[in-house]
Amino acid sequence: MCGKYIVSKSPKASSVSPVPQATDNGHQPQPIINLDHGDPTMYESYWKEVGQKYSVTIPVFQSLSYFANMKNLCWFLEPKLEEEIKTLHKNVGNAITENRHIIVGTGSSQLILAALYALSDSLNDRIRSALSQQLHTTRLVAKFQFLGALLQSYPEITDFLRSQLYKWSGDARCFDKDGPYIEMVTSPNNPDGVIRKPVVNRAQGMVVHDLAYYWPQYTAITSPADHDIMLFTVSKCTGHAGSRIGWALVRDENIAKKMVKFIEINTIGVSKEAQLRAANILEIISLSCQKQRPRDLDNFFEHSHQLMAERWKKLRNAVKNNQLFYVPKFPNHYCNFTNEFTGTYPGFAWIKCKEGVDCEKLFREHKILTRSGKRFGGDAEYVRISMLSRDEEFDLFVQRLSTIHGTGNQN
């Protein structure tokens, strides 16, 4: 293996369309369930329980300047957010922050672009320097091969920009070209939730680790990640996708400077209001992880892990003894955060239909919107389904899934 977003009538957005009016024959049409996207509204219930007590208020006179800390390499990074990022990683034990530069971005998408620019431009700096010593009039810019495992957004990002520094070269497992390359390693992987490592492993390669899902609610924390460039995002950690805050932990100072320069040119920094909100949220989560936490504050990761475990159990029960669908199984691993063996509960379900069935088409016929495996470089027999919708939406999906039987439509 080398529709339209629907909004409910209530004030809050929903992945379930409004219930249509009854037809002439009296039958009530089924509402559409949109599980194509990964909107993490599952976390809404936890934050409603937290309530206003832990909310942050930003005075109108605060954060007027472009600059947050001129002494910091990332001059637009709010000190409070930097502090809370370090604290959270220390509490969870999922990444090393010592001797790393922290760079904030507008979501991980901007940080991916910044990393690609920094890595490819740094190599070109070395090439230009070497050539200038040999052939003073010759200039050469290497066009990087950019590759990764199954993840739909990577080729879209690179192909959209049409950069002269790099180009998308497909699945890393099929990469057989010479020259410099950048490999994206998403672990746990989106869409299949598998823990991944670099697969090319050549001398001229550089690796970016996208660790958006390396949090205790999704997978066991087996060791702190220790890589040159590591990307995280608030949306997958806390559910606050709308804040558009991500961060990178970068070992090399020169690479970090180039990433900062990219963001400076791209957006002149990152919203301070969003940073301060994210800092407050991360502080609440760290507080909830303490043994002496407030009585009215549940441990965020324990709460979220239990919710994910319940959802995966419901999903498996819905397709139990159904020969039409296959739901992947994951081994248990010892988690250093919970100090016990724990299961894996990805934010997406990578479901396979029986051979010859277009799975996305089958679900669409039952008014369930999913993302086809073809969008990830896979087969039409696979779909990615979000496990992060609101409770009522997920329960409706599971109920409807349990009623789908038969052979399905062929490709």
HEC sequence for the chain: CCCCCCCCCCCCCCCECCCCCCCCCCCCCCCCEECCCCCCHHHHHHHHHHCHHHCCCCCCCCCCCCCCCCCCCCCCCCHHHHHHHHHHHHHHCCECCCCCEEEEECHHHHHHHHHHHHHHHHHHHHHHHHHHHHCCCCCCCCCEEEEECCCCHHHHHHHHHCCCCEEEEEEHHHCCCCCCEEEEEECCCCCCCCCCCCCCCCCCEEEEEECCCCCCCCCCCCCCECCCEEEEEHHHHHCCHHHCCEEEEECCHHHHHHHHHHHHHHHCCCCHHHHHHHHHHHHHHHHHCCCCCCCCCCCHHHHHHHHHHHHHHHHHHHCCCCCCEECCCCCCEEECCCCEEECCCCCEEEEEECCCECHHHHHHHCCEECEEHHHHCCCCCEEEEECCCCHHHHHHHHHHHCCCCCCCCEC
| Residue whose tokens read 């009585």 | 295
Q: What is the pLDDT of residue 4?
A: 28
Its pTM stands at: 0.87
Query: What is the number of alpha carbons within 13 Å of residue 239 lying toward its C-beta?
Result: 19
| Residue whose tokens read 């809050």 | 12
Instruction: Mention every residue, 6+ apart, whose C-beta is less than 8 A from residue 141.
Output: 124, 127, 128, 164, 165
Q: What is the pLDDT of residue 153?
A: 63
> Tens-digit pLDDT profile for the chain (411 aa)?
453 222 233 344 555 655 444 445 555 678 999 999 989 999 999 999 998 778 888 899 999 999 999 999 999 999 999 999 999 999 999 999 999 999 999 999 999 999 999 998 876 665 545 444 443 322 223 334 545 544 556 777 777 777 777 777 777 777 777 778 888 899 999 899 999 998 888 777 889 999 999 999 999 999 999 999 999 999 999 999 999 999 999 999 999 999 999 999 999 999 999 999 999 999 999 999 998 899 889 999 999 999 999 999 999 999 998 999 999 999 999 999 999 999 999 999 999 999 899 999 999 999 999 999 988 888 999 999 999 999 999 999 999 999 998 654 544
Q: What is the pLDDT of residue 17?
A: 56
Calculate the CA 303 to chain-centre distance.
Answer: 20
Q: What is the pLDDT of residue 159?
A: 74
Dist. CA 171–CA 296, nearest whole Å:
47
Dist. CA 288–CA 302, nearest whole Å:
10
